[in-house]
Structure 1
């Protein structure tokens, strides 16, 4: 398997796992408050990552102050602000509207990569981005167009902010000059993620009746920490450094496809021809990019 093929596979697997967080997160926040659940997620991730990195790499690498600052900012954007803005937005707007907005992540990443990383997409990459955006829009538009929520305008703005933070999170890794293994950067991002969530998480823990959490709740927290955090981070960081930013952006279109399929399998939500059409557009865009 070529280096590009491995990078594409890593990016795809990462987005499949991130898409599964829609189902896992919905179950998790039904039993635990947002900040506490997120703090526990990163505690578990570090319990897994820290022993492995010391055994395999002898500990964390030496980094410049600027690189530590960039990684802290990356974690702030993706681990903290994306989660908070998205979940707060969903309390004020309907899921259909939020889904349409989050579908713009591939385009958002492509624009940021063009403006800040001078990664001007080729014609094929541009066509792949367009196909992916069309696909995810189709998937989300068929979920219903009714305007719902207590404050749809504010909610939609919060979700749009979440898209921006997620795009920055997925791209900032390319600004760190030191060679970092996927394991090392995943450990560092998880450490900062815990720091961002810890103050409010401790506050919520003081008002939480832990005996009320079911076995399902604890299993979902474990899944979120071990798979959505550890494995998804490792897969993404293994791929992002090997491909142009605009190409990596296309693979974020797998996220809503994964969420759609898993929602149907686990939550029993129906899938019709419009959803299948959207999935076909997304996959076509990815194939187009992969053959560039």
Structure 2
């Protein structure tokens, strides 16, 4: 393997590990702060951090006015829906359930490209859908699909995160011509400010509820997944083809589920293993036909 490939693999592992550990971290933080407010605060702080990094890298923070509608759309789907709804789902779902449901996103993107772009899925695409659905059925069928209202809400929010991010990916096919770190800073900031506002109005957080562990998790969510990992992701894309990097990101739910089992004692048996194998095999098949660079994926 060429040195540049080894560098790409290293940065990919850094990105995947940081984003994977964010899943059990969210579960820990949700014990003390409500989901929208906690994710929003971490996101706004991360946006300021990314803006400082962008300035230090010589990027201009100002973006052309005519690009703002596209950035707002990306912020709505890639950040508010993807990050906000996936965090909300963690109130009721385990990490294995939430992560696998959310990471079906490439399958929904493949399906949405049919009516939106007139791009009919191939036979391989329908196989990927069948594998993904089979994995979800295996994972969620433990109680014979007898879900209470909370569980149903968690499933709905996780699927909304996946479907809306997929829709945004399909609609915004052309890259936004803004420097990469600046673009992420704007998206994260615009997507997370509404989370903070909604959290204050609806969730009424207790500002004094965070203990030392809670503050540590909040700082981690701010610095690592939204700071270090985004920089490592851009470095990955400089060394590896986008489709290889995207398939490599399937490490995120696997590592997140294992981390949750070790750190939180969540179940990791044959059912979770089979669900991971089926769902992520389907996602890998769907990704083989896609070459977008996702702006937000933790």
TM-score, normalising length from structure 1?
0.72
TM-superposed deviation, 1:219: 0.8
The answer for the alignment partner of 2:268 in structure 1 is 271
TM-superposed deviation, 1:58: 3.8
TM-superposed deviation, 1:208: 2.3
| Residues 1:222 and 2:223 are matched in the alignment | no
The answer for the alignment partner of 1:77 in structure 2 is 77
Which deviations, in whole Å up to 9, do the C-alpha atoms of 1:72-117 show, x marking residues without a partner? Answer: 1111223223344345556578888766643532311222345545
Deviation above 6 Å: which 4+ runs of structure 1? 2-12, 92-97, 118-124
Q: Secondary structure at the match of 2:149?
A: coil
The answer for the alignment partner of 2:180 in structure 1 is 182
**Structure 1: any 5+ residue segments left out of the alignment?**
none
The answer for the alignment partner of 2:197 in structure 1 is 199
Which deviations, in whole Å up to 9, do the C-alpha atoms of 1:171-204 show, x marking residues without a partner? Answer: 66643442x3431221111221233223234557
TM-superposed deviation, 1:243: 3.6
Q: Following the alignment from structure 2 to structure 1, what is the Cα–Cα distance between the partners of residues 58 and 118?
A: 33
| Residues 1:33 and 2:34 are matched in the alignment | yes
Q: How many residues align?
A: 285
Which deviations, in whole Å up to 9, do the C-alpha atoms of 1:148-175 show, x marking residues without a partner? Answer: 3226656544433222123245566643
The verdict on how the C-alpha distance between 1:104 and 1:61 changes in structure 2, with shifts beyond 3 A counting, is: same
The answer for the alignment partner of 1:164 in structure 2 is 163
**Structure 2: any 5+ residue segments left out of the alignment?**
292-298
The verdict on how the C-alpha distance between 1:258 and 1:269 changes in structure 2, with shifts beyond 3 A counting, is: same
**Does the aligned pair in 2 maintain the 1:132–1:250 contact within 8 Å?**
no
| Residues 1:52 and 2:53 are matched in the alignment | yes
* Coordinate RMSD, CA, aligned: 4.5
TM-score, normalising length from structure 2?
0.71
Q: Following the alignment from structure 1 to structure 2, what is the Cα–Cα distance between the partners of residues 94 and 50?
A: 33
TM-superposed deviation, 1:224: 1.2
